[in-house]
Chain A
Amino acid sequence: MINLRDKGAEVWEKSGRPARVAIVLASIAAVASLPLMGGTILNTPIASYESVLVNPVAMFVLMAIGLNIVIGKSGLLDLGYVAFFAIGAYTMALLGTRTGLNTWEILPIGIAMAMFAGLILGVPALKLRGDYLAIITLGFGEIVRIIALNLETLGRSEGILNIPTPPPIFGVEYAFDSHRIYFWTLLVLILLAIWMVRRLSARRAGRAWESIRQDEDVAELLGVPTFRYKIWAFVLGASVGGAAGVFYASKTLYIAPDNFTLQISILILACVVFGGMGNIWGVILGAVVLAYLPDRIRFLSEARLLVFGLVLVIMMNLRPDGLLPRKKREKALVVKEKS
C-alpha cells in the first residue's frame, strides 16, 4: 500500500525554506478555494455544498485536532469531548444574547470556560487511567448535556435562540447564508490549532505526552511530571473544543441540548482513530472524510448510513492504524553512519 505519510515527509525534508513556505502557502490556498469548487465532483448533491464544508467538515476537523491532543498525543481516552464543545457553544449563546459582547469578544471567554472545565474534570479524573478515565469522561459529557436540559437559564430542551452572528471583520459581513466567510474564519482557527499542536509536539510537552502514552510509570520515574502534562493535554484539547463551540453557536444561531449528544464525542473519536491517532494530518484527513462522506452519498437515501458504516469497517480492516498512521520514520541510516 502506498505510504502517503512517508512520501509527504520526504518531500518536506528535502525542501529548503523557500520551497517549504511555497508548499504551505499553496496548500492553504488550495484549501481556502474549496468553497469555490461547488460545481465540481466535490459537490454534495442534496445538502448545500458550502454549508457542508463549514458544518460538519471544518467543525469536525477543528474538534478532531483538539481531541487528538488528548487521545492521540497523550493516550488519554476521552469519551466526553462534546462537553467542551457544548460549554463553548453555551457561553456564546448566553453571553451573545444577554450582553453586548460580540463573537470575537466571547471567543476567548468561551475558550477559557472550556479550559476551566477541562481543569475541573481533569484534576480528579486524571488520577485514574484507561477504562476508568473513559467512563468518567463519558459521564461528564452527559452531565453537561443534562444540565443544559434542566437549567432554566440555558433554555432547557428548547435551547437558546437568536444567537448573534459575528460582527463584520474588515468590512465583510457574516450573513447567515454566506458560508464561505465562515469557512475561511474556521480555516484560520484550524491553522492556529495546527500551529499550536506542531509547536508543542516538537518540544518538551510533545516528548512528555509521548512518554506518558507509551509508558506512564516509566515517564514518571524518569522525571516527567506526568499529572501536570496530562492536565495540560486535557486543558488544551478543551480549548480547541471550546473555540469550535463558540463558533458553532454563532453560525447556527440556535443551539439546544440535542446538538451535544454522546454521538458527537463518538464521531470525533472515530475521526481521530480513522485518520490515524497521533498524526495531525491523518486526523484532519479522517475528519474531512467522515464529515464529508455522509453528505456526498446522500443520494443513496436510506442506504446512506449502511454504506458509511461499511466504508468504516473496510478501511479499518485495511488500515488498522488509520489513513495516515503515526509511525515515525527513521532517517536514512546510511547517512548516519559517517563516523
Chain B
Amino acid sequence: MTEPLLRLENVTMQFGGVTALNNVTFDVKPQEILGLIGPNGAGKTTVFNVITGVYQVSSGVISFQGGSLAGKKRYKITKSGIARTFQNIRLWGDMTSLENVMTATDTHKKSGLLSGLFGMPISRREEKRDKARAQELLDFIGIGEYSDRLAKNLPYGVQRRLEIARALGTEPKLLLLDEPAAGFNPAEKVELADTIRRIRDAGYTVLLIEHDMSLVMKVSDRVVVLDFGQKIADDVPQKIQEDPRVIEAYLGVPENAS
C-alpha cells in the first residue's frame, strides 16, 4: 500500500461546547481524487480549516508527507504543498487574474523585497518565469483570455475557476477544492469534472468537497462521508451509494444512484 500524502488521525475539533469534528480518521493517497461529502454542517469545511492551519485541532494528529502540521504557520503549510479554494469566492478583487495567480506563485520565490528593490537578476528572472507560469495555469484552467481583467469584474464561473488557478499557483501537492461547482449549470459541471481530472492527471492530488452528488460520484476515486462531525463511510463511489448509513444521513437516495 502506498504511503498516504495526508493523514488525519483521530482528529477532534471543538468550539466551546460544539464538537465540529469527532475523532475523524482518513488518508489521502497520492494522485487520487478523494471526495468529501456530508449534509450541511457535517464538518467538511472544518476539515479544510484544520488541514490549512486556520484552526488548531483540539486533539488528534494531521500529518502531511509524514510530518505533523501541528503549530505550523499557515503560509508555511501552503509552502509545504497544500493549497485551497474557498466556498465563498475570496479572490483579491482589485488585482488582475494574472496578479492573483502570481501572488500565489510568489510562495516559492527565492528573491524577496530587497532583491526586487535593487533589480537583482534573480528577481527579474523569477518574475519572468512566474509570469509565464501564471499564464500557463490560467490557460490550463481554461480562462487564459481573462488574464488582464480585474478579478472583481469577472463572470462568476470564471471567478470560481480563477480560485483553482490561484491555488495551483502555489504549486501544491494536495489541492483542496471547497465546493468548486457551487452555482454552476450542468454544462459547466461537466466541464469542471473534466478539469478536476486533468488536474489529477497533471500530478496533483485532489481533496474535493462538493454537494453535487453526480459530480462527486463521477470524478472521485474514493469518497469519505461525514455526518455530525463523524466519519460514517469511506469507500469507492459505488459502495458509498449503496451504504445504508449514508442514505440515512441524507434522508433518501442520491438523485442518480441508479
Which A residues have a C-beta under 8 Å from some C-beta of B? 196, 199-200, 203-205, 207-208, 210-211, 214-215, 217-226, 229, 232, 326-328, 330-331, 333, 336-337, 339
Contacts and interface: CB of A to CB of B under 8 A. Distances in A.
A224 B106 contact: yes
B92 A220 contact: no
Interface in B207-243: none
Contacts of A200: 113, 116-117
Contacts of B96: 328, 330
A211 B92 contact: yes
A222 B83 contact: yes
Interface of B: 52, 54, 73-75, 78-79, 83-84, 86, 90, 92-96, 99, 102-104, 106-109, 111-113, 116-117, 119, 123, 127, 144-145, 147-150, 153, 166-167, 169-170
B75 A220 contact: yes
Contacts of B111: 204
A204 B90 contact: no
B116 A199 contact: yes
Contact of B75 (A225, A327, A336): A225
A221 B78 CA distance: 6
B148 A223 contact: no
Contacts of A331: 148
B78 to A, nearest CB: 4
Contacts of B99: 207, 210
B115 to A, nearest CB: 9
Contacts of A207: 95, 99, 102-103, 106
Given A218-B90, A328-B150, 10 more contacts: A200-B117, A203-B127, A205-B113, A221-B52, A221-B54, A223-B108, A224-B107, A330-B96, A330-B148, A336-B148
B36 to A, nearest CB: 18
B118 to A, nearest CB: 8
A205 B109 CA distance: 11
B148 A214 contact: no
Nearest to B152: A214
B230 to A, nearest CB: 26
A223 B170 contact: yes
B101 to A, nearest CB: 10
